[in-house]
Amino acid sequence: MIKNCIALPDNYHAVRHIDLQKDKKPLFLVNGIALIILILAVGIGHQIVPIRTFYSMEKGIVLYVIRFLITIGSAILYIFLHELVHGMFIRYYSGIRPIYGFTGMYAYAGSSAYFNKKSYLVIALAPIVVWGIVITVVLIFITEYWFWAAYIIQIINISGAAGDLYVTWVMTSLHEDILIQDTGVSMTVYSYENNTSKGNIANES
């Protein structure tokens, strides 16, 4: 397997480009996946602890407001922590500092480096796995009253990773020799010029 690199090797050329912000087809697909995950997750959570407990004021309005604010604050914090994990693995595999930003639609972590298939899949899936484990542990130990405050973050973790899951699915179908450059707002897949059996696709739309 080719190594991660800062400069594109000779004889490599672009075979696929994906922009989840501009390309309508994958954008709709990702949003659809996120919606399905959201509905399923809410249904599962409701079976564990009825969702009405999240709206319960049985412990007083003050604690209710505190719980609500903590939930909102945690959701916002999670967005940054999600990208931070992407960035940590980008730094680990490339040796260079990741690029962080916000498009107005979503936050992102990207890089000018080129990653092999294995490394890129780890980078893509790291946040959902890392935070999925952390939040699951929290859910095991917290009381029923706080369950939905934490479970909402887990829902965001899983449904919000729909884009990561989509690109993971796309990359697994491509050849092992590929290199991926992900700037955070779009990604380009490069392959060795003698290996184009998976097709030469200029744009994902």
pLDDT digits 0-9 by tens, 165-183: 999 999 998 889 999 999 9
* In the predicted structure, residue 201 carries a pLDDT above the cut 60: no
The whole-model pTM stands at 0.86
Q: Phi first, then psi: give them for residue 115, nearest 5 degrees.
A: -110, 140
16-64 pLDDT per residue, tens = 999 887 888 888 999 999 999 999 999 999 999 999 998 888 889 999 9
* CA 85 vs CA 3, 72, 139: distances in Å: 21, 20, 21
Give the other-Cβ count within 10 Å of 161's Cβ. Answer: 23
Helix (H, G, I), strand (E, B) or coil at 186: coil
Separation of alpha carbons 20 and 204, rounded Å: 9
| Least reliable range by pLDDT among 19-23, 82-86, 147-151, 198-202 | 198-202
Q: At residue 204, does pLDDT exceed 80? A: no
Q: Residue 32's pLDDT is what?
A: 94
* Among the listed residues 80, 65, 181, the one whose alpha carbon sits nearest the alpha carbon of residue 123: 181
pLDDT tens-digit profile of 11-21?
Answer: 999 999 998 87
- Is residue 39 packed enough to be buried (19+ CB in 10 Å), middle (13-18) or exposed (0-12)? exposed
Q: Which residues, other chains included, contact 155 with Cβ-Cβ below 8 Å and sequence gap of 6+?
A: 37, 38, 41, 42, 45
